[in-house]
């Protein structure tokens, strides 16, 4: 038998091994709202290139005002799950509005997209069914699938041939319902899923298609309605999960959108919905204001697209190796983990906040700085940030000339 002291010693050892592997995550403390510029506790002002604040709505005056108004009209909290006494008129409005925005019949709110994914699969599918999941899907999708008894298949990232192999295998083994699930956008690479082709494959094999739109809702596609709009299959996706914690205001909250009978079954059976508190009224009110803003103008997503083009062209001209594409996630490839950390540290000294990612978050030898654009950023911010990248890149021998 071991003692409690042994347990605490074990925890200390785990922490030491994380530290020794250079994998300890340390949180930088900011003292300002989220925005183009943020201040850290030591009083330094940084150009922010690492928030999911794609549309600059995290501190947008109309969004903040809507949160204040909902606080006054609907209170601070509801102290209840939805089915007891946690549903207000604004929760029902937000469900209708987000469903219409992403192109589905109905939607159900969750405390976070992590919960939407965590509570999605188990109520809908059983042992006789199969889930086919992209190898690079988000952790919350992986966890959600683990909680479900369906047979599991994994296909290589965005690889249609491998997906078809899985579809055939699932059918050969007699699976009843087959669900293919993918991120609309993969967060480490900014890669956009090949949804039109995936939809076509699913149709051919009688499979359902579900997507996670956390890095797409609000800005991808001509009117910001996400990956399906970008790929020309808007309104043709069976299940869509997403977050209010990124582009759509950045506070918190998630949703699943689908046909109304699917949403109804989730309301009856989805555990993170049934056993967790309702969304705070201020977040619901602010999220409604976000949808008002996005439905009446594409100005913010257009500015984001413009910023992304400028930033990708600037980094490429400076000689950096970036992951190609069009998404505002722009990974600057460094490959070596130590170099990536050095680049991030030097950028901080030069007033630019951009974080390095390395193993195990990305594959071994694929270390990078992940930059993320925002409509909050102006040309001047981007020019200064490009100058800082060039200087640091030269100093570290990452670029020549
Ligand atoms: C951020 C993210 C989530 C989690 O969203 P939360 O609302 O913060 O829980 C889920 N899936 C993907 C792909 C994400 O990027």
List, chain by chain if needed, residues with CB within 6 Å of any ligand 1 atom.
Answer: 112-114, 117, 138, 140, 183, 187, 212, 214-215, 243, 245, 254
Give the tokens for residue 185.
């956008």
Q: Prior bond to 48 cis, omega within 30?
A: no
| Torsion, Cα of 187, 188, 192, 198 (10° steps) | -90
- The predicted pLDDT at position 401 comes to 65
User: Cα dist. 27→40, 41, 264 in Å?
Assistant: 11, 11, 39
Q: Which of 204, 207, 208, 246 is nearest to 226 (CA)?
A: 246
Length of the chain, in residues: 401
* 21: three-class secondary structure by DSSP: coil
Task: Going residue by residue through the chain, which has 401 residues, state the pLDDT in tens, using 9 for 90 and above.
Answer: 889 999 999 999 999 999 998 788 889 999 999 999 999 999 999 999 999 999 999 999 999 999 999 999 999 999 999 999 999 999 999 999 999 999 999 999 999 999 999 999 999 999 999 999 999 999 999 999 999 999 999 999 999 999 999 999 999 999 999 999 999 999 999 999 999 999 999 999 999 999 999 999 999 999 999 999 999 999 999 999 999 999 999 999 999 999 999 999 999 999 999 999 999 999 999 999 999 999 999 999 999 999 999 999 999 999 999 999 999 999 999 999 999 999 999 999 999 999 999 888 899 999 999 999 999 999 999 999 999 999 999 999 999 86
Q: Which of 215, 230, 323, 327 is catalytic?
A: 215
- 246 given a catalytic annotation: yes
**Do residues 289 and 62 lie in contact, with contact meaning Cβ atoms separated by under 8 Å?**
yes
Q: Which of 187, 270, 282, 287 is catalytic?
A: 187
Q: Which of 87, 373, 69, 108 is nearest to 257 (CA)?
A: 108
User: DSSP letters of 283-329?
Assistant: HHHHHHHHHHHHHH--HHHHHHHHHHHHHHHHHHHTT--B--SSSSE
Closest residue CA from atom 5 of ligand 1: 113
Pairing label, strands 130-134, 178-183: parallel
Alpha helix stretches (DSSP H) within 149-259: 160-172, 195-204, 227-231
Q: In the chain, what is the greatest distance between 2 CA atoms, to the nearest angstrom?
A: 65
How many degrees, rounded to 5, is the angle at CA 333 between CA 327 and CA 339?
A: 145
Rounded Cα distance, 14 and 229, in Å:
45
Distance 211 CA to ligand 1 centre (A): 12
Sheet with strand 151-155: strands edge to edge = 106-110, 254-258, 239-243, 208-212, 178-183, 130-134, 151-155
Distance 191 CA to ligand 1 centre (A): 16
Q: Which of 246, 303, 327, 381 is catalytic?
A: 246
- The predicted pLDDT at position 91 comes to 98
Rounded Cα distance, 232 and 153, in Å:
26
Q: Which of 104, 96, 107, 99 is nearest to 264 (CA)?
A: 107
Q: Which of 189, 288, 186, 201 is nearest to 236 (CA)?
A: 201
User: DSSP letters of 330-343?
Assistant: EEEEEESHHHHHHH
**Do residues 380 and 305 lie in contact, with contact meaning Cβ atoms separated by under 8 Å?**
no
- 260 given a catalytic annotation: no
Rounded Cα distance, 49 and 331, in Å:
11
- The predicted pLDDT at position 24 comes to 85
Distance 253 CA to ligand 1 centre (A): 10
User: Cα dist. 334→213, 284, 367 in Å?
Assistant: 27, 40, 6
Closest residue CA from atom 6 of ligand 1: 113
- 187 given a catalytic annotation: yes
**Do residues 111 and 276 lie in contact, with contact meaning Cβ atoms separated by under 8 Å?**
yes
């Amino acid at each position: 038998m071991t003692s409690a002291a042994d347990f605490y010693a074990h925890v200390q050892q785990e922490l030491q091994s994380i530290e020794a592997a250079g994998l300890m995550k340390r949180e930088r403390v900011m003292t300002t709202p989220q925005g183009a510029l943020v201040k850290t506790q030591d009083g330094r002002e940084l150009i922010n290139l690492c928030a999911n604040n794609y549309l600059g709505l995290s501190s947008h005056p109309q969004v903040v005002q809507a949160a204040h108004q909902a606080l006054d009209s609907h209170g601070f909290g509801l102290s209840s799950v939805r089915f007891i006494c946690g549903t207000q008129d604004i929760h029902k409005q937000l469900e209708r509005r987000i469903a219409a925005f992403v192109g589905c019949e109905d939607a159900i709110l969750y405390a976070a997209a992590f919960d939407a994914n965590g509570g999605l699969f188990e109520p809908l599918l059983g042992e006789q069914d199969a889930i086919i999941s992209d190898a690079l899907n988000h952790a919350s999708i992986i966890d959600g699938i683990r909680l479900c008894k369906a047979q599991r298949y994994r296909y290589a990232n965005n690889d249609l041939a491998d997906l078809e192999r899985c579809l055939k295998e699932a059918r050969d083994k007699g699976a009843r319902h087959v669900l293919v699930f993918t991120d609309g956008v993969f967060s480490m690479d900014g890669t956009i899923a090949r949804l039109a082709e995936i939809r076509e494959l699913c149709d051919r094999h009688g499979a359902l298609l579900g997507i996670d739109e956390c890095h797409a809702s609000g800005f991808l596609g001509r009117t910001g309605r996400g990956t399906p709009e970008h790929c020309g299959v808007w309104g043709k996706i069976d299940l869509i999960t997403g977050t209010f914690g990124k582009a759509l205001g950045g506070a918190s909250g998630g949703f699943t959108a689908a046909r109304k009978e699917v949403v109804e079954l989730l309301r009856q059976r989805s555990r993170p919905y049934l056993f967790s508190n309702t969304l705070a009224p201020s977040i619901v009110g602010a999220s409604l204001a976000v949808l008002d803003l996005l439905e009446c103008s594409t100005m913010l997503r257009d500015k984001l697209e413009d910023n992304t083009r400028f930033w990708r062209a600037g980094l490429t001209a400076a000689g950096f190796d970036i992951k190609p594409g069009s998404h505002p996630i722009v990974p600057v490839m460094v490959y070596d983990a130590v170099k990536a950390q050095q680049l991030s540290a030097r950028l901080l000294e030069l007033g630019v906040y951009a974080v390095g990612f390395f193993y195990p978050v990305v594959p071994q030898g694929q270390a990078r700085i992940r930059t993320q654009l925002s409509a909050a950023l102006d040309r001047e911010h981007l020019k200064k940030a490009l100058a800082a990248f060039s200087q640091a890149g030269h100093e570290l021998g990452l670029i020549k000339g």
